[in-house]
Amino acid sequence: MRGWEDILKSVKSGERLSAEDALTLWQEAPLWYLAEAAVEKKRSISGDKVFYNRNFHLEPTNVCLFNCKFCSFRRPRGSAEAWEWSIEQLEEQVARYRGTGVTEVHIVGGVHPDHNLDYYCDLIRRVKQILPKVAIKAYTAIELSYMIRKAELSTREGLERLIEAGMEAIPGGGAEIFDSDIRLQICPEKGSTEEWFEVHRTAHELGIKTNATMLYGHIEGIPHRIDHLMRLRELQDATGGLNAFIPLKYRNFGNPMSEIGEVPLTDDLRTLAMSRLILDNVPHIKAYWVMYGKQTTEMALKFGADDVDGTIDDSTKIYSMAGAEDKRPTMSVEEMKQMVARAGFVAVERDTHYNEIGEQ
């Protein structure tokens, strides 16, 4: 077995990490050495740049068929805290962004028992009618798999309908942890790992770029995280369709797994750096500021992340309900630029497809 110094040297010279070496590096290498290697890798891909976009989220409902144990967002139907916005209410929410310069709408919500593929396609069309220039990044693989199965279509046929309606990209949610034993314990009812991959692989075949997430810091071990990352690396080798990887730290407020607590900051930073090093074929590593909070996000930029997501404008509830510091998450473009500059990089506005947008 090689020592971490040897492994780090070979990673820095461009060698791909095996699962075994990744475990040694993850467990034994000093954090600062990992940071240095991860930033070196980040710089070889995106130089001095750190990307952000102007976006908002639409969360049509928090009613969900599945009862995932880590989720603080879901409410049973009929609960005082459940919401099911009508299409008209959602249109109103979207109309507020006319003339604001947003370039992306991220649509995600619970898997509502009454919603079907027509509803989801209609929602996309209505958003496009109001904001014709914004890109729609919509629905997790779990929502997609459910709506497409309900419509009795193949994954390809279902995705084709959504693409025709205006879907341009797919977010990374629903991946959680791919290991089936862990998945069974934290989200036994949820769509499977195979479904997640089927949706993403098919989307890539259809020319749609997607993101991938990993929910870490609960009952999984480091080997499960490495297995998760290796599966994504394999998918990317086959299709090249992943735009960004987003490690999501388990936040423990208000859900059935609360007693687990949260992992320390050093674990977040190590996970970011190791993700950058293992996923040598994925262009972007996103430090989702809403989940980490602004301070950790600034640090994350020194551990290989090159994207911080977007302005958000207080439009997502998933993380404020799970205990994130920012109860009304929003970040101005000026704040983005300052945060990125403090970390020693240059903030660059991007669109959903990572085309750079010049100063406006």
Which phi and psi angles does 77 have, rounded to 5°? -55, 135
Judged by CB under 6 A, the chain residues 322 through 341 that form the site for ligand V47 are 322
**For 274-304, b where at least 16 C-beta lie within 10 A, e where not — what string?**
bbbbbbbebbbbbbbbbbbbbebbbbbbbbb
Instruction: Verify binding: residue 173, ligand V47, rule CB under 6 A.
Output: yes
Nearer to ligand V47, 12 or 231 (CB): 231
End-to-end CA distance of the chain: 54
User: Which residue in the set 60, 158, 166, 172 belongs to the binding site for ligand V47 (CB under 6 A)?
Assistant: 172
* 53 touches ligand V47 by CB under 6 A: no
Strands, sheet with 49-53, edge to edge from the N-terminal-most edge strand: 307-310, 49-53, 346-349
Counting beta carbons within 10 angstroms of the beta carbon of residue 43, is it exposed (0 to 12), middle (13 to 18) or buried (19 or more)?
middle
Residue 286 C-beta: closest distance to ligand V47, Å: 6
Locus of tokens 């799970």: 322
309 in contact with ligand V47 (CB under 6 A): yes
- CB-based closest residue to ligand V47: 173
Interacting residues of 32 by C-beta distance below 8 A, sequence separation 6+: none
Rounded to a whole number of angstroms, the minimum distance from the CB of residue 67 to ligand V47 is: 12
Q: Which is nearer to ligand V47, 8 or 175 (CB)?
A: 175
Under rule CB under 6 A, residue 292 binds ligand V47: no
Which stretch, 34-42, 92-100, 246-254, 294-302, contacts ligand V47 (CB under 6 A)? 246-254
> In whole angstroms, how far apart are CA 315 and each of 158, 311, 324, 339?
27, 10, 14, 21
Lateral strand order in the sheet of 284-285:
55-58, 104-107, 135-138, 167-170, 209-216, 242-249, 284-285
Per CB under 6 A, 220 contacts ligand V47: no
Contact 249, 263 (CB under 8 A): yes
- We find the least distance from the C-beta atom of residue 178 to ligand V47, in angstroms, to be 12
Site for ligand V47 in 175-204 (CB under 6 A): 176
Closest distance of CB 321 from ligand V47, Å? 8
How many CB atoms neighbour CB 131 within 10 A?
21
Of 26, 70, 178, 345, which one interacts with ligand V47 (CB under 6 A)? Answer: 70
Taking CB under 6 A as the binding criterion, the range among 58-66, 97-105, 143-151, 242-250 that sits at the site for ligand V47 is 242-250
What phi and psi, each to the nearest 5 degrees, are found at residue 180? -70, -30
Separation of alpha carbons 8 and 13, rounded Å = 9
Window 111-170: residues binding ligand V47 (CB under 6 A): 140
Question: Whose CA is closest to 216, among 146, 159, 269, 165?
Answer: 269
Q: Which of 110, 158, 166, 174 lies at the binding interface for ligand V47 (CB under 6 A)?
A: 174
Minimum CB–partner distance for residue 309 and ligand V47 (Å) = 6
> Does 307 engage in binding with ligand V47 (CB under 6 A)?
no
User: Binding of ligand V47 at residue 55 (CB under 6 A)?
Assistant: no
**Interacting residues with ligand V47 (CB under 6 A):** 70-72, 140, 171-174, 176, 211, 213, 215, 246, 248, 250-251, 255, 288, 309, 318, 322
